[in-house]
Amino acid sequence: AMATSAMVGQGEVLTGTTIMACTFDGGVVLGADSRTSSGNYVANKVADKITKVCDKVYLCRSGSAAHTQAVAGYANLYLNQHAIELGEKGVSVKSAATIVKEIAYTNKEWMNAGMIVAGWDKAQGGQVFAVPMGGTLMEVPFAVGGSGSIYINAFVDKNWRAGMTRDECKAFVRKAVSLAISRDGSSGGVIRTVTVDAAGQNKEMVPGDQVARYQDEHLPTLGSNAPIFT
């Protein structure tokens, strides 16, 4: 997002952002912040960047809000048609990711979209596919994206492990996103997560005032008697 936002005109709405998705033992957790910025103006403080593209498969969106919403719309259309043909078998996560990749790769000249597709299917369980700008498709155990991701690459590399439980994975995703929000001006608001596993899908949110903070020891000091108001 950082490299190409210089190319987009001022006024285009961007999801300068932190997004991530992570596999655990039995499913995936997708996570994102909720800030949509238009230049420096925060156009939406409570945006939802995790979009359903088909049953049990979700898309994390970063880059241009318009481009990624269009991709999600087309992916949803094609995957619904595909699901009708498959019947009870259900759409695989890989198929969903491939459709998203086809749209991104075919239209790469015009697109400003970094996306992560993640979900659960009966055949392969929880899977995460990264579709960064340019239209590559990579299956990975975890992925981070958006302008805030640069601040947490090392953190997730060090702290992800295979075989986490659902709650451990959710806590890991929330911690990573909160760390990115702490440093990236384009990320902020609430932390949204979607957990997908055999049982179903669960959308949750950590409100803004409950997001973990790491700089409170570094608030300005006014001497021992000055009160701090929350």
Partner 1 sequence: LAYMSILEYNGGAVLAMVGKNCVAIASDTRFGIQHQTVSTDFSKVFRITDKTFVGFPGLASDTQTMLNKLKFRIKLYSLDEDREMEPKIVSNLLQTLLYEKRFGPFFVEPVVAGLDKNNKPFISAMDLIGAPLLAEDFVLSGTASEAMYGMCETLYRPDLEPEDLFEVVSQCLLSSVNRDALSGWGAVVHVITADGITSRVLKGRQ
> What are the residues binding partner 1 (CB under 8 A)?
2, 5-6, 10, 16, 35, 37, 39-42, 45, 147, 181-186, 188, 208-209, 211, 213, 215-216, 218-222, 226-230
Instruction: Indicate the burial class of 178 (C-beta count within 10 angstroms; 0-12, 13-18, 19 or more).
Output: buried
The one catalytic residue among 17, 18, 36, 193: 17
CA distance 22 to 160: 8
Q: Which residues contact 130 (CB under 8 A, 6 or more apart)?
A: 116, 136, 137, 138, 140, 143, 145
In whole angstroms, the minimum distance from the beta carbon of 187 to partner 1 comes to 9
Residue 136 is among the residues annotated as catalytic for this protein = no
CB of 20 to partner 1, least distance (A): 18
- Shortest gap between Cβ of 30 and partner 1 (angstroms)? 22
Are 132 and 150 a contacting pair, CB within 8 Å?
A: no
Name the token pair of 12: 């285009």
How is residue 138 written in tokens? Answer: 């990579």
Whichever of 51 and 186 has its CB closer to partner 1, that residue is 186
Give the pair of three-digit tokens for residue 158.
């060090």
For the annotated catalytic residues, the residue numbers are: 17
